[in-house]
Amino acid sequence: MNDLQQYKQRKIVNDPVHGFISIPDNILFALIEHPYLQRLRRIKQLGLTSLVYPGAVHTRFQHTLGAFHLMGLAISVLKNKGHHISYEETLAAHAAILMHDIGHGPFSHALEQTLIESLTHEDISLLLMDRLNQHFEGQLTNAINVFKGKTEKLFLHQLVSSQLDMDRLDYLKRDSFFSGVSEGVIGSDRIIKMLEIKNNELVIEAKGIYSIEKFLVARRLMYWQVYLHKTALVAERMLINALKRAKHLSLNKIEVPAPPFLQTFLTNRFCSDDFLSNPQILDDFAMLDDNDIMSSLKLWRRHDDNVLSCLASRLLDRKLLGIEISDTPFDKGRIDQLKKEKKLFGNMSDEEMNYFVFTDHISNSTYNVGQENIKILYKDGTLKDISYASDMLDHSAFAKTVNKYLLCYPK
């Protein structure tokens, strides 16, 4: 019996955000049941943000099902407005949104540019999609093309990845629900009902403009209040530093205990060619989840290396570094002075102190003008970018990239 023959009945999942989610096709349910998708049950959607908002322990698997549900609603709305979307195209869009997050590593972005230095989670997602397509004997080819934007119907790709995609509509509502931050609540149902297609692109009917304004304001507030909360930022950077230290020690032949799949990435520096030439590397990545990192931290808190043990202990016990945020870069003299003052902290060398006194920067823009813009469709058929159509949003402010600088050090 193959994967598809065993799934004969329509499946329904109960979701706390959207209610009942229907999985209408065998291949979609088989895809959800695949280990690559099931791994997302063991990866938190918001990483270490639960150290700030204790309820924010929901997973990428929950988010994936939510985005999948919204995709179904969006396609139904567009079909009811007279647009032809075939059953095959509907399947492709659903499968594409199911696979959009499979390349994420443990604790979201903490592993990127740390243990895996040359690939982003998007790169790894595509590698895993190709592997899945082989497993399903080519039945996911159309879905991968939708994900890449290599489809005649561009709006299908925009439903998966754009500034108004099903991914964003779900994660804002879901992250708001689980964190308890009400500023993120959006009218996703209303936005979806206002979707339309013009010139092969996804647009919003003019009467939905206020829902889009609310969506953009909610996204801005959620970024500064949740995703870029200073406590979550310092915790994530401490985790990154712990992983960097573990890798530094491992590459210098100092034993660092870790689960075998994590050990692979601690003891090697892989480039993109390595992933292509050695399938085992991708297999090992596909086994990594948050549990590997947490198990390692518990082992590392007793390691002989003072830097690694201190970082691990502080993360496990929530004894985080202090953090300051500024609109301008921090003075180098201030940083050097802090390192000198804190040098007796754990009796560490100058090089070791860099793990505890360091700077970084963050940036965020609420709306990117010129990048698959959100367009408002008026009754006379004209289109206008939301940043100009809105009489509430300040075009220059919402399009501006905001940069902030971090300074972290032991309290």
265-297 confidence digits (pLDDT tens): 999 998 888 998 999 999 999 999 999 999 999
CA distance 330 to 337: 12
**Per-residue pLDDT averaged across 29-44, rounded?**
96
* Per-residue model confidence (pLDDT) at position 212: 94
CB 301 within 8 Å of CB 309? yes
Judge whether 104 lies within some domain.
Answer: yes
**Per-residue pLDDT averaged across 164-180, rounded?**
97
Tokens of 157: 């790709």
Judge whether 50 lies within some domain.
Answer: yes
CA distance 218 to 191: 13
CA distance 186 to 178: 14
Give the model's confidence band at 7: pLDDT under 50 very low, under 70 low, under 90 confident, else very high: very low
Q: What is the rounded (10 degree) CA torsion for 120, 125, 128, 130?
A: -110
Judge whether 332 lies within some domain.
Answer: no
Q: Which domain CATH number covers 126?
A: 1.10.3210.10
Judge whether 101 lies within some domain.
Answer: yes
What's the maximum distance between 2 C-alpha atoms anywhere in the chain?
Answer: 72
Sign of the CA dihedral 129, 260, 257, 47? positive
**Per-residue pLDDT averaged across 310-326, rounded?**
97
Give the model's confidence band at 9: pLDDT under 50 very low, under 70 low, under 90 confident, else very high: low
Judge whether 163 lies within some domain.
Answer: yes
Mean pLDDT for the chain overall: 92
Q: Is the pLDDT of residue 163 over 80?
A: yes
CA distance 267 to 258: 11
Give the model's confidence band at 210: pLDDT under 50 very low, under 70 low, under 90 confident, else very high: very high
What total of structural domains would you count in the chain?
Answer: 1
CA distance 240 to 360: 12
CA distance 40 to 356: 31
Judge whether 176 lies within some domain.
Answer: yes
CA distance 43 to 46: 9
Pick the residue with more confidence: 391 or 385?
Answer: 385
Q: Is the pLDDT of residue 54 over 80?
A: yes
Which residue range(s) make up the domain with 46? 11-227+367-402
CB 74 within 8 Å of CB 165? no
Judge whether 311 lies within some domain.
Answer: no
CA distance 23 to 6: 15
* Per-residue model confidence (pLDDT) at position 1: 40
Tokens of 127: 């590698």
Helices 87-99, 121-135: axis angle to 10 degrees equals 130
Judge whether 89 lies within some domain.
Answer: yes
CB 107 within 8 Å of CB 233? no
* Per-residue model confidence (pLDDT) at position 346: 65
Q: What is the rounded (10 degree) CA torsion for 77, 81, 85, 91?
A: 10
CA distance 108 to 236: 10
**Per-residue pLDDT averaged across 314-325, rounded?**
97
DSSP string over 39-80: GGGGSBTTGGGGGTSTT---BHHHHHHHHHHHHHHHHHHHHH
* Per-residue model confidence (pLDDT) at position 5: 47
